[in-house]
Chain A
Amino acid sequence: MSPTLAHTPNFVGWRALILHRPHQNVDALMAQCARIGIAADQAWPTLEDAEAMRGYDVLLIDADMGHDEQFPWAPGLAPMPMIALIGSEAPGRIAWTIGQGADAQLLKPIGSAGLYSALVVASQGFLRRTAQTEEIALLKDQLAKRQVVAEATAILMLKHNCDAEAAYNRLRKTAMAERRSIEKAAAGIIASFDTHGRTNVTNGR
C-alpha cells in the first residue's frame, strides 16, 4: 500500500514529439500534454530534419503504421523514453514497439486520460534501462581487466615479498590514494614495473 514513488513526477518544460498522422487521437494527446505542462509537436512520418528528434524529451510512436526508418538511430537505441500508441493489438506491431524501446503504451482511441501514467512508466523504465546499460558496460570492463589486476598483484607480491592478500591490499590502497579504479591503478603498476630483462612475469598474458 505504501507509495513507491517518493517524488511527485513533474514533466513541466518537457518537449514531446508525436509521430502520428494528423488525427483526433493526436488532438487528444496535445490536450493532455498541455494539461501537464508539456509542449508537443506532431510529425509524420518523420521530422524534416530527423536529427532534430534527439532534442525531444519523449517520443510517442504509432504502433499501427510505424517503421524503423522514421528514426535517426537503430532500433532500441532511442536516447529518450518512448510511448507506443496502439490501435491494432497485433503481436507483430507490439513486438515492433518493444524493439524500439517503448516502455509504455496508450490504447487508441485516446480519451482524456492515460498519458500521465504512461509518461511516469516510460520515463522510469528509460532511466532504469539507461542505468543498467551503463552498469553492464562497467562490469564487462572490470571483467576484462581481471587479468591486469592479477598481474599487478603478482608484481606487488614479488616486489614486497608478501602474500596475495597483502599485495591486493596494497593495490587497493594505491588506487584509493590515486583516486582511480583498481583496474587503472593495476595498469599503472604493470607499466612502471621494471622486469630487469626477465620475461616470465608476463608469460601469463
Chain B
Amino acid sequence: MSVYPVGVLFSRSGGYSRPAEQGYFGALAAVADINADDAYPFTLEAHHADPKGNADRYAELCRDLIRTTGAQHIVGCTTSWSRKEVIPVVEKLDALLWYPCVYEGFEVSENLIYVAACANQHLVPLLDHIVPRFGARAFLTGSNYIWGWETNRIARDILTRSGGAVLGERYVPIGDEDIDHLIEEIREKHPDFILNNLIGTSSYAFLAAYRALGMEDPAFRPENCPVVSCNLCENETTRLGEDAAGHYTVSSYFRALASEENDRFAARMKASEPSRVADAFFVQAYAAVVMIAEAIRRTGSDAAQDVLEAVRAQETATPLGPVRVDRGTNHVNLCAHIGRARADGDFDIVHYCRETIAPDPFLTATPLDRLYATMAADARQLRVVR
C-alpha cells in the first residue's frame, strides 16, 4: 500500500499555542481516521514540526518537511505572520500549504489552499449581526500584527461608512497580558461593543479583566456591551468559563451546531480523547487533511498540482460541510454562524447561516457601506428604555 507523507506545521507552545495545538490535533485525528478507513487504498504519514510560536522558524521547518520527508502537502500555520513566512517556500518548491485558520484576506497564492474564512465570511456577517442589536460605536483591540491591524482597519472602514464610529483602537504585543490601560480606556469611552482581535494569552487576560469591570459597572456586562471575536473558539471558551460567557464569536463551525452528522462527529472526537474539544481550528485542519486524502484517492497522485486540480473540480464532504476550492481564489465557500458563549464553553447559536458565503478575499464584491446606521441608533434607544 502506498504511503503519502503529510507535513503538519503547528506550534505546540508559545503565545497562541491553544488554537495552534487545535490545528495539530485536528490534522492528526483526520490522518488517523483516513488510515482506519478502507475506502482509502493508501496511508497518510504525518510528520510534525513545531516552530514553538516563533514566526522566524516556520519557513525553515516547512522547507525541511518538504525536502526531508518528501511531503507535497503541509497543513499548518495559525497566524498570518507565520503564513506569510511560509508562502515563498511552498511557491518555490511547488508544494501546497493548507491553511486552516480564519485570516484577514487580501491574499491569493497559487500554492495555498485557504480552508477557513476571510473577512467577508467572518467580520462582515459578525458586524451585520452585532451592530443592529448593540449599536455602531465600537472599540477595536488586537494583537500587534497583521491580523489585528487589517481586521480592525476593515471594521473601521465599514463602521465609518455605515454611520458608526470607532471610539478607540489599541494593540498589545502577542503574549502580553498587561491590558489594564485597555480596560481603563474602555471604561472612559463607553463603546457599544468591543471587537476583539487579540489572540491567545492576551485575549484571555483581557476577557478576565473585562469581566471584573462588568462586576463593578453593569454597563460593561455582555448583555450591554459584548466582546465580539472572529476566532475565540470552544477550546478556549471551555477554559475561560465565566470570563467568556455571554460574548460573541462568528465561526464556520461550532460544536453545538445541531445536525446528525455533526453530533456523530463531535461524539466520535470526544470518545477518542475526552479532554479535547473539536472546535473550528480543529475541524478546519481536519477538513484540510480529508480534502488531501480525497484528492489522492480520486487522482492516484499526491502531486501538488494534481491534488489542487482535484479539489477544484469536485466537492469534498467534510465536517464543515461539502467544500470545493474556488478556482479563482483558492478559497472555499463557508457558512458564518454566530454563537454566544456559555459558561460551560459551548456556544448558543444565535444566528444560523443557511447558505454558504462565497469567498471575497479582496472585498471587491462585498459592499462596505452596510446601511445599518439607523438600525443601530434604534438599538441604542431600545436598550436605554429597557
Give CA–CA (A170, B229) in the complex, Å.
Answer: 61
Q: C-beta contact mask, A1-19 vs B, less than 8 Å → 1, else 0?
A: 1110111101110000000
Please, which residues of chain B bring their CB within 8 A of the CB of A31? 328
Give CA–CA (A12, B360) in the complex, Å.
Answer: 12
**By the criterion CB–CB under 8 Å, are B144 and A37 in contact?**
no
* Tally of chain B residues near chain A (CB < 8 A): 25
The A interface, classified by DSSP as helix, strand, loop or mixed, is loop
**By the criterion CB–CB under 8 Å, are A35 and B157 in contact?**
no
Residue A36 CB within 8 A of the other chain: yes
Residue A112 CB within 8 A of the other chain: yes
**Nearest A residue to B154, CB-CB:** A8
**Nearest B residue to A112, CB-CB:** B110
- Inter-chain pairs besides A7-B368, A37-B362, A116-B362, 15 sampled, C-beta below 8 Å: A7-B157, A8-B368, A11-B364, A34-B328, A35-B362, A36-B362, A36-B364, A37-B364, A111-B91, A112-B109, A112-B110, A112-B111, A113-B107, A113-B108, A116-B106
Please, which residues of chain A bring their CB within 8 A of the CB of B43? none
Give CA–CA (A37, B361) in the complex, Å.
Answer: 11
Please, which residues of chain A bring their CB within 8 A of the CB of B149? 1, 3
Q: Can you name 15 A-B pairs with beta carbons within 8 Å?
A: A1-B144, A1-B171, A3-B149, A6-B160, A7-B157, A8-B153, A8-B368, A12-B364, A32-B108, A35-B108, A35-B329, A37-B362, A112-B91, A112-B109, A112-B110
**Chain A: interface size category:** 20 to 34
Q: Given A3-B153, A35-B328, is A10 in contact with B363 using a C-beta cutoff of 8 Å? A: yes
Give which listed residue, A1, A8, A34, A112, contacts B363 with CB less than 8 A: A8
**Nearest B residue to A3, CB-CB:** B153
Residue B365 CB within 8 A of the other chain: yes
Please, which residues of chain B bring their CB within 8 A of the CB of A111? 91, 109-110
Please, which residues of chain A bring their CB within 8 A of the CB of B154? 8
**Nearest A residue to B329, CB-CB:** A35
In A1-54, the 8 Å CB interface with B consists of: 1-3, 5-8, 10-12, 31-32, 34-37
**By the criterion CB–CB under 8 Å, are B157 and A8 in contact?**
yes
**Nearest B residue to A13, CB-CB:** B364
Give CA–CA (A117, B183) in the complex, Å.
Answer: 35
Please, which residues of chain B bring their CB within 8 A of the CB of A113? 107-109
Closest 9 CB pairs of A and B: A37-B364, A112-B110, A3-B153, A12-B364, A36-B362, A112-B109, A8-B157, A8-B363, A35-B328
B197 to A: closest C-beta gap in Å: 13
Give CA–CA (A35, B108) in the complex, Å.
Answer: 9
Residue B169 CB within 8 A of the other chain: yes
Give CA–CA (A78, B361) in the complex, Å.
Answer: 31
Residue B156 CB within 8 A of the other chain: yes
**Nearest A residue to B328, CB-CB:** A35
Give CA–CA (A3, B156) in the complex, Å.
Answer: 10
Q: C-beta contact mask, A180-200 vs B, less than 8 Å → 1, else 0?
A: 000000000000000000000
B332 to A: closest C-beta gap in Å: 15
**By the criterion CB–CB under 8 Å, are A10 and B364 in contact?**
yes
**Nearest A residue to B171, CB-CB:** A1
Please, which residues of chain A bring their CB within 8 A of the CB of B108? 32, 35, 112-113
**By the criterion CB–CB under 8 Å, are A6 and B157 in contact?**
yes
Please, which residues of chain B bring their CB within 8 A of the CB of A112? 91, 108-111
In B78-112, the 8 Å CB interface with A consists of: 91, 106-111
In B170-226, the 8 Å CB interface with A consists of: 171
Please, which residues of chain B bring their CB within 8 A of the CB of A8? 153-154, 157, 363, 368
